[in-house]
Amino acid sequence: MPDRAPDRAPATSGGEKGLAQASRGGEVERSAGRSAAPAPAGRRSLLPAPGQGFGVTFAQIFRKVTTEEYPEVPKVTKPRYHGRHVLNRHPDGLEKCVGCELCAWACPADAIYVEGGDNTEDARFSPGERYGRVYQINYLRCIFCGLCIEACPTRSLTMSNDFELADDNRRDLIYTKEQLMAPLLPGMESPPHPMRLGEDEKDYYLAATQRGETP
């Protein structure tokens, strides 16, 4: 019986076939991409290319300079700019912070560390039962989102417009309570001292609402 001549190309293995198909497919895609590419735009200017390039430079020379002269000329931020934090005081000098740690829990960057302490009649730092004994903000972590000041129930924590927070070492960018406390204004007394604005915490709350503050 004579051998039958093969009527098709010799069979290839599955892997080779796949490679061949993939290679053909890539070729089709590449050729499709070539045909879809836009034709390069023609140069409209009569100037040679270097002349056009320097034209951009010369046009900039006569425009208004927008360089900030910082730090010689201090930058004025928008009034609601989120800068360095401040721990505020009541009008008699007592601290508004009650050491509740809500700001620390609200912080997405874990930048705040608070340890509360108990007020006593001999050593009172805030009108409530507790005060912020240790308070730290790590400005290497803070992203100035303002969630901590939203979380604060006593409006103790607010943010100033101060943005000058650069330093050359990590330790100095962890701000302590002493650095964050608002300064003593005229009429304020440095804690600890007894409550001057009323008998208890409620008097401070009512006084704040009468002044139009959100306590």
Q: By the criterion CB under 6 A, which residues form the site for ligand SF4?
A: 97-103, 106-107, 109, 111-112, 114, 132, 137, 142-148, 151-152, 154, 156-157
- Nearer Cβ to ligand SF4 (19/140): 140
Integer Cα distance of 114 and 69 in angstroms: 38
97 a known binding residue?
yes
Integer Cα distance of 7 and 177 in angstroms: 90
214 a known binding residue?
no
Structural element, H or E, at residue 104: helix 102-106
Structural element, H or E, at residue 132: strand 130-138
Distance of closest approach, residue 206 Cβ to ligand SF4, in angstroms: 18
- Nearer Cβ to ligand SF4 (21/209): 209
Cβ contacts of residue 110 below 8 Å, gap of 6+? 141
- Nearer Cβ to ligand SF4 (27/118): 118
Integer Cα distance of 5 and 40 in angstroms: 53
Distance of closest approach, residue 108 Cβ to ligand SF4, in angstroms: 6
**Residue 118 in tokens:** 């108990």
Query: Do you know the residue count of the chain?
Result: 215
Distance of closest approach, residue 89 Cβ to ligand SF4, in angstroms: 12
Distance of closest approach, residue 180 Cβ to ligand SF4, in angstroms: 9
188 a known binding residue?
no
In contact, 187 and 196? CB cutoff 8 Å: no
- Nearer Cβ to ligand SF4 (53/152): 152
Residues of each annotated binding site for [4Fe-4S] cluster: 97, 100, 103, 107, 142, 145, 148, 152
